[in-house]
Amino acid sequence: MSTLFEKAYQRSIDSLITRFAKPAMQGATLEAWLFDDQKSRKAAEHTLQAAGVNATLRSAYKPLVHFFIEEIDCTALAQASIGYPMHEACAPNRFLLETYPLTKLVGEAKVEFYATDAPNFTYQVSLTFQDGREESHQVFAPNRTHSDIDGQTLLSPTGWLNIKHQGQVSAERLETDLEQLFHDTIAAISGYTWGDTEPYFEELNITAQLPIKERALPYAEEVISLTEALHEDIYFSLLEFFRKIWQTTGRPWFTARADCA
């Protein structure tokens, strides 16, 4: 057995604390979107606030679902009208699909969706509560366009920072630890010389240890699992990579399995 790639990554949430929890950043307001669980994000918020930084850390994974379960009292909700964005680099219903299983998490509240041309990957949310209150929100879903290993243009979720400090406002993409892990893994495997004969390997095992807890949802046995999301991204990206090899060489197709724990 040979090891193609091995690397440890600093957690993005720890890097964020190192960058902002210092005297020079006191008084700053920070919004961040990360691939991390709520408990870790809340702990980091408290650390940053103790250092004088007004911080709100949100999930970059399924941001609309997390907005409802973390910021809205769904038991008091009567109706929600949600406009989802579209982008030319993905399927028209991509951002609609990412709202699953929101309609199962709001009790008896009525939920309607409609497509919008809203810029900057933003959901337009209008809420009506059982006591007659109404609220409007814009829920940001940070994404970036990039090329995959075959040169195809993709649209993928990413980390993001909004910063206000000393009268200056800035917004920037944050390449998170999870994104780095994914791209380094794909690059290591796609860049390896697999030879000219099959099978290229007996087993291709991928193990990633993530300090992130799953979140059980109050519907069926659904959970929010960043580990599962990473597994799917790596698995299907590598299936596509080896399919391209098959198309290039004309040799018979085989099945690959990648295990990520």
- Under 8 Å CB-to-CB from 18, ≥6 apart: which residues? none
For residue 199, whether the previous peptide bond is cis, meaning omega lies within 30 degrees of 0, is yes
Indicate whether 257 pLDDT > 80. Answer: no
Start-to-end C-alpha separation, the chain: 19
Q: Which residue has the tokens 């780095």?
A: 180
Which whole number is the average pLDDT over 195-216? 87
Q: CA-CA distance, 164 to 172, in Å (whole number)?
A: 12
Residues 132/102, Cβ–Cβ less than 8 Å: no
Q: Give tens-digit pLDDT for 172-199.
A: 999 999 999 999 999 999 999 887 777 7
- pLDDT tens sequence across 109-146: 999 999 998 778 999 999 999 999 999 999 999 999 98
| Ordered structural domains, the chain, with CATH | 62-141 (3.40.30)
Q: Which pLDDT score, from 0 to 100, does residue 250 have?
A: 57
Cis peptide before 101 (omega within 30 of 0): yes
- CB 81 within 8 Å of CB 112: yes
Which one-letter DSSP state was computed for residue 214?
A: -
Say how far residue 14 (Cα) sits from the centre of its chain: 17
pTM of the predicted structure, to 2 decimals: 0.90
β-strand partners of 147: 153
pLDDT given for residue 197 in this prediction: 74
Based on the number of CB atoms within 10 Å of its own CB, is 49 exposed (0-12), middle (13-18) or buried (19 or more)?
Answer: middle
Q: What is the pLDDT of residue 21?
A: 97
Whole-number CA gyration radius for the chain: 21
Q: Which ranges in the chain belong to alpha helices (H)? A: 12-20, 38-50, 63-71, 94-97, 177-190, 226-249
Listed in order, strand segments (DSSP E) in the chain are 29-34, 54-59, 77-84, 110-115, 122-129, 134-140, 143-147, 153-157, 159-165, 168-174, 215-216, 223-224
